[in-house]
Amino acid sequence: MSNQRTLDQDRTIRLVLEMSRRTGRAVPIRRALAQITLPKPKQRLRRRTESTDPEPPRRPTKPGSLHQLVEHRRHHALDVLLLVYAATSGGDFGVSHFATTWSRSIGGSFEKRSASSQMTRIWNQLAESELVKRAGQQGRRARVIKLREDGTGADYTVPVGGSLEEVYFKLPFTYWFDGWHSRLSLPAKGVLLAAMSRRSADLAITDEGFSRWYGFSAATVARGREQLLQLGLIEKTGEEEYPSLNLINGVGTRPLYSLRHPFALSQRPPEHRPAGIEIPNPVAGAMKPVTSDIPR
C-alpha cells in the first residue's frame, strides 16, 4: 500500500484553472447552453394592401443541452463540462489530464481503474450531447476538445456577442474558489446558469416560465430557486404585472429576482433595467402590442 500523498479536490481544481491562464478569472459561455435561438420562421409575402406588424416577430427558441444534463441527473457531467470550459482558452480548445485528475475534481475516485471507468462514462455522456469530442490519447492522458455550446457538434469559437447566437455570460472562477460547485445542488446549478444567461437585472424565475424556456421541470425550478434564495445568490426585488389569457382577468403578477455577487457579471446595471410590462388601457383606443410571458 503506497503512502504517497494525493492532491485533494479543491487543489486539483485550482491547478486546472491556473493552467488555463485566463487573466480575467472568468469563463465565457454562450447562452445557447441554456437556450438556443432558432432561425426566423419564413413569412408569406404580404399584399401591399395588407397591414404590417409594428414590430418584427421575436425569434423562436428551444431549451439547450443544459436541461438534459439537469433532468437526467448528470451532475458530474455538468461539473466536468464547466471545468473543461474554464480550462480551455485557446489553440484547438482542448485539454489533456489523467482520468484521476478529472475524477478528483468532482470528488470521485482517486484510484486509477475506477476513475477511468467513471470518466469514460462522463465523456460518453458529453459526447452524446455533442458538447465535447474525444481526440485520442497523449500518453496516459485522454485529450478532450470542447465544442460549440449549442450541441450541434460544430467547432468551438470564442463568443463575440452582438447577434443572438453569440450572446454569452461569464462564469467567475469564484464559482469554484468559494466552493459553490460543491454546495449547490444540480437544480440550483441549472437555474443559476439559466438566470446568468439573461441580460435583465430583474428576472421572473417562475416554475412555468423556466420550464417552458429552459426545459426544466417545475419541481426542478422550485428546488433550485429556493436553494439560491437560501444561500443569498439571488434576492427578490419586487413584482411585475404580465398579460396572460390563462387568467380570468387577463393580467397576472409574478415576483422578480436579481442575481447577487459574484454571479451578476452579465446583467445590466439598475439604471438600464426595463420599466416593466405595460398593460394597455382598454378605453384608450387602439390596442398596443404587449410583451408576454417571455425571458428577458
Chain segment 68-108, per-residue pLDDT in tens = 999 999 999 999 999 999 999 889 999 999 999 999 999 98
**Same-domain check for residues 143 and 276:** no
**Same-domain check for residues 11 and 143:** yes
Name the pLDDT band for 27 (thresholds 50, 70, 90). Answer: very high
pLDDT of residue 281: 41
**Same-domain check for residues 115 and 231:** no
Q: Which of 153, 183, 213 is the last residue of a domain?
A: 183
Total number of domains in the chain? 2
**Same-domain check for residues 169 and 220:** no
Is the residue at 151 inside a domain? yes
Q: Which of 132, 153, 183 is the last residue of a domain?
A: 183
**Same-domain check for residues 168 and 220:** no
**Same-domain check for residues 107 and 1:** yes
Is the residue at 191 inside a domain? no
pLDDT of residue 53: 42
**Same-domain check for residues 291 and 177:** no
Is the residue at 33 inside a domain? yes
CA–CA separation, 148 vs 136, rounded Å?
A: 19
Is the residue at 49 inside a domain? no
pLDDT of residue 57: 56
Is the residue at 260 inside a domain? yes
Q: Which of 123, 157, 183 is the last residue of a domain?
A: 183
pLDDT of residue 226: 97
pLDDT of residue 139: 73
**Same-domain check for residues 75 and 171:** yes
Listing DSSP states for the chain in one string gives --------HHHHHHHHHHTTT-TTSEEEEEGGGTEEEPPPPP-PPPPTTS---SSPPPPPEEE-THHHHHHTT-HHHHHHHHHHHHH--STTSEEEE-HHHHHHHTT---SHHHHHHHHHHHHHHHHHTTSEEEEEEETTEEEEEEB-TTSS-PBP-----SSGGG-EEEEETHHHHTTHHHHS-HHHHHHHHHHHT---SSB---HHHHHHHH---HHHHHHHHHHHHHTTSEEEEEEEEEE-TTSTTSEEEEEEEEE-TTS-TTSPPGGG----PPPPPTTSSSPPP---S---
Is the residue at 294 inside a domain? yes
- Asked which of 149-163, 243-257, 274-288 is least confident by mean pLDDT, the reply is 274-288
User: How much of the chain exceeds pLDDT 90, in percent?
Assistant: 58
**Same-domain check for residues 25 and 137:** yes
pLDDT at 234 over 90: yes
pLDDT of residue 114: 86
Residue 15 near residue 100, CB atoms below 8 Å: no
pLDDT at 46 over 70: no
Name residues whose C-beta falls within 8 Å of residue 221's C-beta, 6 or more positions apart in sequence: 187, 191, 205, 206, 207, 210, 211
- Domain that residue 278 falls in: 199-296
pLDDT of residue 44: 59
CA–CA separation, 167 vs 158, rounded Å?
A: 11
**Same-domain check for residues 34 and 146:** yes
pLDDT at 113 over 90: no
Nearest to 294 by CA among 170, 199, 218, 229: 199
Cα angle for residues 114, 115, 120 (degrees, 5° grid): 100
List 256's β-bridge partners, or say none.
238
Name the pLDDT band for 171 (thresholds 50, 70, 90). Answer: very high
Count CB atoms within 10 A of the CB of residue 174.
14
Residue 64 near residue 149, CB atoms below 8 Å: yes
**Same-domain check for residues 133 and 203:** no
247 or 43: which leads in pLDDT: 247
Count CB atoms within 10 A of the CB of residue 139.
8
CA–CA separation, 230 vs 105, rounded Å?
A: 26
Listing DSSP states for 76-136 in one string gives HHHHHHHHHHHH--STTSEEEE-HHHHHHHTT---SHHHHHHHHHHHHHHHHHTTSEEEEE
Is the residue at 16 inside a domain? yes
**Same-domain check for residues 161 and 218:** no
Is the residue at 193 inside a domain? no
174 or 265: which leads in pLDDT: 174
Span 215-241, mean pLDDT? 95
Q: In terms of pTM, does the model score above 0.85?
A: no
pLDDT of residue 294: 47
